[in-house]
């Protein structure tokens, strides 16, 4: 198809192309993983670290997908999820995210369309979770007024280099485990 920058690449290689995703996430490492996933899938990621920042973002633009960490520095992500699913118009997909065993139940109780475990186990899980809850894929990107997103599959190499740098700079074990699990997910694809 027209528009893909590399021969041999198809829409299947950029399953979330054109999508704008807002991640409300205070963990630097969880955000980094989401950034890599979004870039690999062709989606544009914006990030808010607090409920207050998220509300400021939502006054300025309308993301297609919002991923809300349940534990945020200024309150529970559940309250934001409730507001988002009741908003008119509402984002196409609102997902909760947590590393806790009770996270899924809490997110769904707040009205989330679905849930992402942290760390996200693979690119495939990430993409299928988002796409499974998408009511109308044709609408994605339709609310964006700027220039079309230009995906850059070659940036994967840069992402991996950056991830390796992060690992080298951050010796704490949970962070290493988080990133290395993510990288293995990419490698298995
Ligand atoms: Ca958190």
What are the tens digits of pLDDT across the range 144-161?
433 333 344 444 555 566
How far is the centre of ligand 1, averaged over its atoms, from the C-alpha of 119 (Å)?
A: 12
* Gap between the Cα atoms of 21 and 73, Å rounded: 20
Q: Give me the pLDDT at residue 186, please.
A: 61
How far is the centre of ligand 1, averaged over its atoms, from the C-alpha of 52 (Å)?
A: 14
* Gap between the Cα atoms of 158 and 134, Å rounded: 29
Q: How confident is the model at residue 173 (pLDDT cuts 50, 70, 90)?
A: low
Reported residue count of the chain is: 189
Report pTM.
0.70
Asked if the model's pLDDT at residue 141 lies above 60, the reply is no
Q: Give me the pLDDT at residue 149, please.
A: 38
How far is the centre of ligand 1, averaged over its atoms, from the C-alpha of 146 (Å)?
A: 31
Q: Are 141 and 20 in contact (CB under 8 A)?
A: yes
Q: Are 34 and 67 in contact (CB under 8 A)?
A: yes
The answer to which of 51-55, 102-106, 119-123, 148-152 has the lowest mean pLDDT is 148-152
Q: Spell out the alpha helix ranges (H) of the chain.
A: 28-41, 51-60, 77-86, 103-109, 123-132, 155-169, 173-188
Q: Are 91 and 62 in contact (CB under 8 A)?
A: yes
Those residues whose beta carbon sits under 5 angstroms from the ion ligand 1 are: 26, 69, 71
How far is the centre of ligand 1, averaged over its atoms, from the C-alpha of 22 (Å)?
A: 15
Q: Are 80 and 67 in contact (CB under 8 A)?
A: no
What are the tens digits of pLDDT across the range 13-43?
899 999 999 999 999 999 999 999 999 999 9
How far is the centre of ligand 1, averaged over its atoms, from the C-alpha of 2 (Å)?
A: 40
Q: Give me the pLDDT at residue 154, please.
A: 43
What are the tens digits of pLDDT across the range 43-95?
999 999 999 999 999 999 999 999 999 999 999 999 999 999 999 999 999 99
* Gap between the Cα atoms of 17 and 80, Å rounded: 26
């Amino acid at each position: 198809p027209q528009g893909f920058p590399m021969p041999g690449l198809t829409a299947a290689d950029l399953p979330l192309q054109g999508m704008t995703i807002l991640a409300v996430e205070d963990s630097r490492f969880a955000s980094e993983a989401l950034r890599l996933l979004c870039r690999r899938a062709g989606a544009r990621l914006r990030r808010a670290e607090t409920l207050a920042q998220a509300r400021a973002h939502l006054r300025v633009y309308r993301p297609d997908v919002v991923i809300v960490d349940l534990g945020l520095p200024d309150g529970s992500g559940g309250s934001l999820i409730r507001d988002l699913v009741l908003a008119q118009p509402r984002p196409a997909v609102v997902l909760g995210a947590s590393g806790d065993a009770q996270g899924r139940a809490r997110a769904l109780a707040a009205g989330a369309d679905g849930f992402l475990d942290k760390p996200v186990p693979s690119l495939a899980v990430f993409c299928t979770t988002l796409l499974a809850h998408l009511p109308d894929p044709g609408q994605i990107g339709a609310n964006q007024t700027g220039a079309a997103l230009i995906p850059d599959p070659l940036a994967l190499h840069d992402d991996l280099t950056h991830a390796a740098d992060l690992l080298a700079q951050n010796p704490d074990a949970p962070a290493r485990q988080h990133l290395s699990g993510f990288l293995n997910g990419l490698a298995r694809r």
